[in-house]
Structure 1
Amino acid sequence: MLPLFLLLCFLIPPPTVISLNQDGLSLYKFKLSMNDPDSSLSSWNDGAAHPCSWFGVTCDPTNTSVTELDLSSSNIAGPFPASILCNLTNLTTLILYNNSINNALPPEISLCRSLVHVDLAQNLLTGALPPTLSDLPNLRYLDLTGNNFSGVIPDSFANFQKLEVLSLVYNLLDGTIPASLGNITTLKMLNLSYNPFSPGRIPPELGNLANLEVMWLTQCNLVGVIPGSFGKLKKLRDLDLALNNLEGSIPSSLIEMTSLKQIELYNNSLSGELPRGMGNLTALRLVDIAMNRLSGTIPDELCRLPLESLNLYQNQFEGELPESIANSLNLYELRLFANKLTGKLPSNLGKNAPLRWVDVSNNQFSGEIPATLCENGKLEELLMIYNSFSGNIPASLGRCRSLMRVRFGFNRLSGEVPAAFWGLPHVYLLELADNSFSGSIAKTIAGAGNLSLLTLSKNNFTGPIPEEIGWLENLEEFSGNDNMFNGSLPASIVKLGQLGTLDLHNNKISGELPIGIRSWKKLNEINLANNEIGGNVPDEIGSLSVLNFLDLSNNQFSGEVPAELQNLKLNRLNMSYNHLSGELPPMLAKDMYMTSFLGNPGLCGDWNSLCNGRDEAKARGYSWLLRMIFIIATVVFVVGLVWFYSKYKNFKRSKRAIDKSRWTLMSFHKLGFGEDEILNCLDDDSVIGSGSSGKVYKVVLTSGEVVAVKKLWGGIKKEMESEDIEKGGVQDNAFDAEVETLGKIRHKNIVKLWCCCTTRDCKLLVYEYMPNGSLGDSLHGSKGGLLDWPTRYKIALDAAEGLSYLHHDCVPPIVHRDVKSNNILLDADFGARVADFGVAKVVETNGKGTKSMSVIAGSCGYIAPEYAYTLRVNEKSDIYSFGVVILELVTGRRPVEPEFGEKDLVRWVYTTLDQKGVEHVIDSRLDSCYKDDICRVLDIGLMCTSSLPINRPAMRRVVKMLQENQTKAIKKDGKLSPYYCDDASDHGSVA
């Protein structure tokens, strides 16, 4: 009996195999077929009789068969195992959202006959959509968003029997939207947005989808008109046809869609008037028909609806805004800018509604500003520029502590600004320019701790600038020109360490410039012309390294011109009509500055051979000496010419490979050096970096100034061109892009291009020198531990402001296309400059969508997902890359590291936050006392790296969020962001 017993024991399989039921065995095979770097499926081998206790598995309690499999965000990878999963005969729900499921979706998925709910969104699936999907008889929910499916939508999809949700957002589908989709009469949601479809019309057959509740066809390359058949969609709640090329009028059948709550038709070419009868849409809450060509008046019946958001900006509407809009109890957003609207705003606008954003700029509104705009204490933005508003600023706005952005410029407002209004604590932009305001700046401005931009130009303000102005530590621009300010500049003004622009020209300011202005490290512009300021010109001005505009003309300055001004690289210098005297410093006594010192009779320079005050007789006393010098110089010249001729042939054979006489210099700023001085310093000892495009040299000029020189070699062989293109373009293209971009832009956070030198075979770019190198070197090298959190935060904000300038302030906008930590350079104070524009592109702003490039530009780990797939260039690509930089600053990790496996930094952060918490994400070298601030910046980085470009905030918004950095969680549409950091005891988690 013993041998028989031993034989039976040997034949019995291990417990983990024999104990599992059939579904368990199938799931175990699924586990073995997938790559599971995070061990998400570690519980799938516990030897139980069934898999019902395994992670992500739900069973039927009556027979332990698997009914649901949810492995969302588990970081599993591998091909979709249809043959395995279809063995789960009772599987109704399959959710593999946000993993790395790859390759094509096999046709065998049609064998999973029990499937009702399939979510494969945010994976790496490729190839065509399987036509056999429609063979699933019970399928109600199909979400394939955010994959790489290509080709056309199969006509077989018309055969779905029970499908209610079809979402194919953000794929690579082409062709046109098939009319056969109109046969899926069970559909409740149709979302095909953000696919590169061929230009095509909206199929009228979609009007047959009688059960449809949501239709999202955003940015689908739609042309033609909106079908009148849409009037049959009685259950439709959300209609989004934005970002297309639709034309014609909005069909009158729209008013038959009585369930409609939200309509978004912005950024098309629609024309005509809004259809009559919109008052029938009693469920309507959000209307966004901005950026079209609509005209006529805004219907009163539309404004009588219980709207929450009304966006009609950038159209051609005229007439008055109906009074009934003030009765919308839930209205929080009203944007009507860039129309032709007239009349007054409703006097009780905001009294009954929680207004947050109001923008009526660029219209012809008149009358007074309604006092009730902030009645509910929610108003954040109030923009009313370029209208004809009159009267005073209502005192009630001085109590509106929620205000963050105020623009009243270019109106007819008058009277004194309420004292409390000056001190609103959250306002970062206050613009009152081009009005008739009077009175003085109240001392209460000390309370405006968040104020960054203060524009008071062209008013009737009087009195001295208060000492409290120096308390505004975030102030970046103070423009108060063309007023009647008097008295001395307050001593505290030198405390404004963030100040970039100080413009107070055309006032009555007197006294002397305050001591200590060397603290204005970021000051780019000083304009104090046409005042009564006296005393000496402080030599401290020469220490303002980024200053490029200095106008002190028409004042009462006296004494000599400080020699330290020679340290500046100014685009404009004007010190005319003062009482300056003495000789000009050598670098300023040149013809280029002839008009910079007019009206100072005591000054002399090289353009005038006689210094004022010296008589002609004394000058004649030196004439004999000049004659002798001329004779001696002539003799020396003749002797030298003979010697030169004798040595010419040897000199010609030994002259340098680069012939300096052939160099062409193009400058973008006033220079204190020539090309010879640069060329003489280009030796191997001065090389500080090298790359595929050439070398970078550190050059110390005779003046003591240091510049960086990038040397790009031309003459690349034909066979190398294709390789160079794959890296972002041949050298000539990189050089042209760099010069074209940096040569025309000026910003304190964009690296300054002094000049370029070219020959046929060699090209040089001369930049300002950044002593602390790149952020990548500082962060990931031996200095990483020296970058504390305040320094990292400052770097993030500086870089964001530079990119915001490129995206929003350049016309046309510029996309960098290679944002990374190695292209963010750091000056002596760790101020950041965006650099390396070799692959930058100008964005076409013609409303026809983004521009496709022929190649991928960028660096591994920084490239936005949709850019790699579609090659479409827009600002969202830069925003994703900048988000990766933020994650580098927070984590201290590189964008790609071996320990990440097949993931990059973005996926690693998301996974680690979800599974381990924020403590495992934040760089351990950072002081824990900054954890709350770090978490809020981490939120911003995660928003910037959203896989859907539409969810990424614009760079201007990123700057705003970094500046505000006060709230504990970033909110969007009233909900917490997908990842958020709470107090020190909590960690990031999936919302």
Structure 2
Amino acid sequence: MAVAAASAAAIVLLQLCWFSFGLNHESSVLLEVKRGLEDPSNALSNWEVGAGDETPCNWTGVGCSGGRVATVDLTNFSLVGPFPSALCRLPVLAFLSLSFNYINSSLSDAALAACAALAHLDLSQNLLVGRLPDALADLPALTYLDVSGNNFSGEIPPSFGRFRRIESLSLVANLLTGGVPDFLGNLTTLRQLNLSYNPFAPGSIPSSLSDLASLEVLWLAGCGLVGEIPRSLGRLSKLLDLDLSNNALSGRIPATLVNLSDVVQMELYNNSLSGPIPLGFGNLSSLVRFDASMNLLEGPLPDDLFDGPRLESLHIYANRLTGGVPTAVALSTSLVEVRLFANRLNGSLPPELGKNSPLTLLDLSDNLLSGEIPPSICDRGVLEQLLLIDNMFSGGLPVSLSRCRTLSRVRLRNNLLSGKVPSGFWGLPHLWLLELSGNSFSGGISPIIANGANLSKIVLDNNQFTGNIPAEIGALSKLYEFSASNNRLSGPLPASLGNLEELGQLDLHHNLLSGEVLRGVQSWTKLSELNLADNAFSGGIPPELGNLPVLNYLDLSGNNLTGEVPIQLQNLKLNELNLSNNDLSGALPPLFAREAYRDSFLGNPGLCKDISGLCPVSHGRRYHHSSVWLLRSIFITASLIFVVGVAWFSWRYLKYHKKKQVMEKSKWTLTSFHKLGFSEFEILDCLDEDNVIGRGGSGKVYKAILSDGETVAVKKLWGSSKDVENAKQSDDDGFEAEVATLGKIRHKNIVKLWCCCSQRDCKLLVYEYMPNGSLGDLLHSSKGGLLDWAMRYKIALDAAEGLAYLHHDCMPPIVHRDVKSNNILLDGEYGAKVADFGVAKAVEMIGKGPKSMSMIAGSCGYIAPEYAYTLRVNEKSDIYSFGVVILELVTGKLPVDPELGEKDLVRWVSSSVDQKGVEFVIDPKLEVSRKEEIGKVLRVGLLCTSSLPINRPSMRRVVKMLREVCPEIKHKSEKDGKLSPYYSEDNSDFGNNV
């Protein structure tokens, strides 16, 4: 008994010793891994052997099973360094995730071969390079492999056809070449195959993929596929998601695809598919989304397409479909979105459209549809967008639409609609865009419009509206555009119009309006266009129009205006001025007394005839000589008294003002980040309205020329009473801390922050001055032709390097959040520097953290899709915005432009390149001989603007790809054979330039 007990005790002791040895060994392995990686965020701080606790099972990201390390999950820890091959010495490690880090170098076959227990390996979104290692396919237990978003190159190795148990294989967004190989059809255990967005050589879809009987997800978007879709894909009975978008597939949609009974989503857009849509999609009971837009499809829409009980989203635009909208669309109980615009659909809409479907969006624009708008279109009460532009709809607006309180966007331009607009329609609470132009609507604008608190854009041009403009329109505090030209509106302009602080465009030309032109319009600080031509306005031109800061289009022609042309109009920076065909008289202001303005004043008999010369001498009654001298003497005496009085008053005022300035300046605090040759007093003396060179969402920008000849830009941040109050608490400390961080940035492609000046209720930032202004202003002005391709390419590369520095070399990384062409400034040699990278926004976000926001920041056309609905901010948001800037440089077009129609620049470029080729989108000002280079840069821009953040390259990779476009162009920081400090010779590591 004693012997047996002793033996048992010995065995237990040995097991404990072995267990302890195993834990000590695994702790040593993990500590070795930690030593081989940079950990800037200190995420692995508790990876250490403490007193009495030598087990790693409680370390961050480490999980154990049976007392041994079985999982290591280091996702999104910002780790930097080579792949930690020591992890493969953990004998039971089954789960390893290093995704969303900065793991670089290549993968070694020898190192991976030791990871025999791995079942799950996720290395996605890193900086790995080289070829895919064969050893991955030899791991006996591997079921999940994701290496998406790296820089792997070469072809998919043949060894990848012999995975033993693989269920999910994702190689998305690498640099893989060759094609989609046939041998992937050998992986009969596969449930997910994701190969999208690789630069594969043109090739067909291997028919062998039809043998993957367990496949649930087949994602081959952007794989360079050509030829027809194999009919055999219809055998994939378990398929849930089929994505073949963004390729060059041709031929018909195979009828066999209707056999995919479990499919939930089918994406076939951006190809060259032709022929009709086959019958049978209504039998797909699980289908929720079907997108076959931007192809060459033709023929009528099949009735049963809308019968699927779960179909929620239907996208079939930019094809050649003919026929009418099937009655079945009205019977579907699941349709949420219907987009059939830009086709050849004709006939009328089903009379019960919307009665059964919870429609939120209906876009049938640019077709040949006729008949009336169905009154049931919003019966389910959730319709948000109704877009029927450029059709032949007739009849009136259904009264039921006036009860559709969810409507936010209504565009019915260019139809044959008539009758009165239902009264309640004008006051829908969520409606922000109302476009009824190009119809025959009659009646008046209802005073109920006051309830439309969200109305921002009202476009009523080319109708038959009558009556007065209601005073209640002045309650629309968000109104930016009011266009109602070519109607029969009458009466005076309501004085309440002058209260609209957001008003940017007011176009009421060719109506029957009368009375005087509105006065008291000081609130119109954002008005850029005022067109009141061809009405019956009388009286004089209000001088206060000359004080509107951004007015650049003024047309008051064809009225009965009298009096002189106010000299204040000279203050305006006008692109268009038309005061012709009125009854104006007197001398013209000096600025307008030129031949260039002749057409602006035609048809005014009382104005001076010789614009380029002096006014003709009056031929009226001569005054008696002595009377003239008496009047002159009185005038001269009065003038002398006035001048002396003004001089005395000015002397007293300047003395008081100078004393006050000295007192105020003493309250300023200067924080410098570089050696300065000026003081805060010099900066303050330059804050004059004459020196304003720009205005933005966060403040005014002044140009300041200092006594030593230095020119700087001074940004005065907007403040408010709330800001002042909060400053008493913690904002001052937060502002100083944030600016101190930004002041440490040193990079040739970031605008230099010289210093900041602050006092209790005002903050100034002093930057280096960039004489050529912003890229946006230059590119989209008449001077855009100055930017040849070499300059545009260099600007793109400079800006990319600046952003790469912010993302990868700053600790913590800086996310710009408002990358756009207007925030890329150009120096005297057109070198580009990133500016305005979130200083004011960072001040606002103090205490809230940089990753989550309560509202969308950014500029229209540049905002990443996921940003709009998640409000999550990271580097991928900046990369999308930078991609838009690249597309601007290539196309010369604005991100949002009326000539692009319903599309923004990203969607317009994507669809145009696929359908019409690269040449169609290239700015005609650019050299044809550089087409190949331009095409490569365009591809980089399209990669950056991928709708899925995971598919967008990092800014380091963007820099690399741009540099490879023109390797012969050396960056100006490369001197004496030394590369720029953030780019290494092998492209696998980036130095720190903080």
Cα pair 2:777 2:822 within 8 Å, conserved: no
Q: Which residue does 1:242 correspond to in 2?
A: 245
Q: Which residue does 2:702 correspond to in 1?
A: 771
Query: In the alignment, does 2:338 pair up with 1:399?
Result: no
Q: Select which of 890, 902, 911 maps to 2:841.
A: 890
Q: 1:202-601 counterparts in 2 under 5 A?
A: 202-306=205-309, 307-601=311-605
The one-letter amino acid paired with 2:558 is N
* Alpha-carbon distance change, 134 to 889 in structure 1, aligned in 2, over 3 angstroms: farther
Deviation at 1:787, TM superposition (A): 8.7
* Alpha-carbon distance change, 143 to 369 in structure 1, aligned in 2, over 3 angstroms: same
Cα pair 1:428 1:452 within 8 Å, conserved: yes
* Alpha-carbon distance change, 581 to 782 in structure 1, aligned in 2, over 3 angstroms: closer
| Cα distance between partner residues in 1 of 2:89 and 2:356 | 60
Cα pair 1:347 1:370 within 8 Å, conserved: yes
Cα pair 1:891 1:922 within 8 Å, conserved: no
| Cα distance between partner residues in 1 of 2:470 and 2:621 | 54
Q: Select which of 848, 856, 859 maps to 1:919.
A: 848
The one-letter amino acid paired with 1:835 is S
Deviations 1:486-519 (A, max 9, x none): 1111111112222221110010111112222232
Deviations 1:688-727 (A, max 9, x none): x9xxxxxxxx9x9xxx976979xxxxxxxxxxxxxxxxxx
The one-letter amino acid paired with 1:492 is S
SS in 1 for 2:591: coil
Task: Tell me the matched-pair count.
Answer: 735
Deviation at 1:202, TM superposition (A): 2.1
* Alpha-carbon distance change, 416 to 291 in structure 1, aligned in 2, over 3 angstroms: same
Cα pair 1:267 1:291 within 8 Å, conserved: yes
Q: Which residue does 2:152 correspond to in 1?
A: 149
Q: Select which of 92, 97, 100 maps to 1:95.
A: 97
Q: Select which of 49, 55, 73 maps to 1:50.
A: 55
* Alpha-carbon distance change, 337 to 437 in structure 1, aligned in 2, over 3 angstroms: same
Q: Which residue does 1:835 correspond to in 2?
A: 774
Q: Select which of 78, 82, 85 maps to 1:79.
A: 82
Cα pair 1:470 1:496 within 8 Å, conserved: yes
SS in 2 for 1:553: coil
Deviations 1:88-131 (A, max 9, x none): 11111111221222211222213201111111112222222112
SS in 2 for 1:207: helix
Q: Which residue does 1:126 correspond to in 2?
A: 129
Deviations 1:570-599 (A, max 9, x none): 222111111111111121121112221122
| Cα distance between partner residues in 1 of 2:34 and 2:566 | 76
Query: In the alignment, does 2:813 pair up with 1:862?
Result: no
TM-score normalised to the size of structure 1? Answer: 0.67
Q: Which residue does 2:67 correspond to in 1?
A: 64
The one-letter amino acid paired with 1:407 is R
| Cα distance between partner residues in 2 of 1:789 and 1:886 | 24
* Alpha-carbon distance change, 951 to 705 in structure 1, aligned in 2, over 3 angstroms: closer
The one-letter amino acid paired with 2:55 is H
Q: Select which of 144, 163, 168 maps to 2:166.
A: 163
Cα pair 1:318 1:339 within 8 Å, conserved: yes
Deviations 1:149-190 (A, max 9, x none): 222211210111111111112222222222222221211111
Cα pair 1:149 1:172 within 8 Å, conserved: yes
* Alpha-carbon distance change, 787 to 867 in structure 1, aligned in 2, over 3 angstroms: farther
Cα pair 1:392 1:415 within 8 Å, conserved: yes
Cα pair 1:548 1:571 within 8 Å, conserved: yes
Deviation at 1:524, TM superposition (A): 1.5
TM-score normalised to the size of structure 2? Answer: 0.66
**More displaced stretch, 781-790 vs 320-329:** 781-790
| Cα distance between partner residues in 1 of 2:837 and 2:268 | 34
Q: Which residue does 1:945 correspond to in 2?
A: 876
Q: Which has the higher contact order (CA 8 A, sep 6+)?
A: 2
SS in 2 for 1:30: helix
Cα pair 1:351 1:376 within 8 Å, conserved: yes
* Alpha-carbon distance change, 274 to 466 in structure 1, aligned in 2, over 3 angstroms: same
The one-letter amino acid paired with 1:191 is N
Cα pair 1:139 1:162 within 8 Å, conserved: yes
Deviations 1:741-788 (A, max 9, x none): xxxxxxx989xxxxxxxxxxxxxxxxxx952799xx999989569599
* Alpha-carbon distance change, 417 to 841 in structure 1, aligned in 2, over 3 angstroms: closer
Deviation at 1:258, TM superposition (A): 2.6
Deviation at 1:26, TM superposition (A): 1.9
Cα pair 1:500 1:522 within 8 Å, conserved: yes
SS in 2 for 1:862: helix
* Alpha-carbon distance change, 70 to 879 in structure 1, aligned in 2, over 3 angstroms: farther
Deviations 1:658-692 (A, max 9, x none): xxxxxxxxxxxxxxxxxxxxxxxxxxxxxxx9xxx
* Alpha-carbon distance change, 370 to 529 in structure 1, aligned in 2, over 3 angstroms: same
Deviation at 1:316, TM superposition (A): 0.9
| Cα distance between partner residues in 2 of 1:565 and 1:854 | 38
Query: In the alignment, does 2:76 pair up with 1:41?
Result: no
The one-letter amino acid paired with 1:891 is A
| Cα distance between partner residues in 1 of 2:752 and 2:360 | 36
Deviation at 1:361, TM superposition (A): 0.5
The one-letter amino acid paired with 2:775 is D
Deviation at 1:401, TM superposition (A): 2.2
SS in 2 for 1:433: coil
The one-letter amino acid paired with 2:81 is G
Deviations 1:20-40 (A, max 9, x none): 433233222222222222222
Deviation at 1:879, TM superposition (A): 9.7
Deviations 1:846-893 (A, max 9, x none): xxxxx999972415453599999xxxxxx9985999999675543249
Q: 1:551-950 counterparts in 2 under 5 A?
A: 551-607=555-611, 614-615=618-619, 770-771=701-702, 835-837=774-776, 856-860=797-801, 862=803, 878=820, 888-892=839-843, 919-921=848-850, 940=871, 942=873, 945-946=876-877, 949=880
Cα pair 1:285 1:309 within 8 Å, conserved: yes
| Cα distance between partner residues in 1 of 2:394 and 2:138 | 67
* Alpha-carbon distance change, 395 to 265 in structure 1, aligned in 2, over 3 angstroms: same
Q: Which residue does 2:8 correspond to in 1?
A: none
The one-letter amino acid paired with 1:771 is Y
Deviation at 1:551, TM superposition (A): 1.0
Cα pair 1:336 1:360 within 8 Å, conserved: yes
RMSD between aligned alpha carbons? 4.6
Deviation at 1:601, TM superposition (A): 1.1
| Cα distance between partner residues in 2 of 1:234 and 1:20 | 47
* Alpha-carbon distance change, 937 to 856 in structure 1, aligned in 2, over 3 angstroms: same
Counting aligned pairs with the same residue, the percent is 44
Deviation at 1:556, TM superposition (A): 1.0
Deviation at 1:839, TM superposition (A): 9.5
SS in 1 for 2:536: coil
Deviation at 1:368, TM superposition (A): 1.6
Give the unaligned 5+ runs of structure 2. 1-18, 626-673, 675-682, 725-748, 754-762, 766-771, 785-791, 810-816, 825-833, 859-866, 886-894, 903-946, 948-994
**More displaced stretch, 444-453 vs 526-535:** 444-453
| Cα distance between partner residues in 2 of 1:876 and 1:199 | 37
The one-letter amino acid paired with 1:55 is T
| Cα distance between partner residues in 2 of 1:412 and 1:820 | 54
Give the unaligned 5+ runs of structure 1. 1-15, 622-688, 690-697, 710-747, 751-768, 792-817, 823-827, 844-850, 869-874, 894-908, 910-916, 924-929, 961-972, 974-991
* Alpha-carbon distance change, 785 to 706 in structure 1, aligned in 2, over 3 angstroms: closer
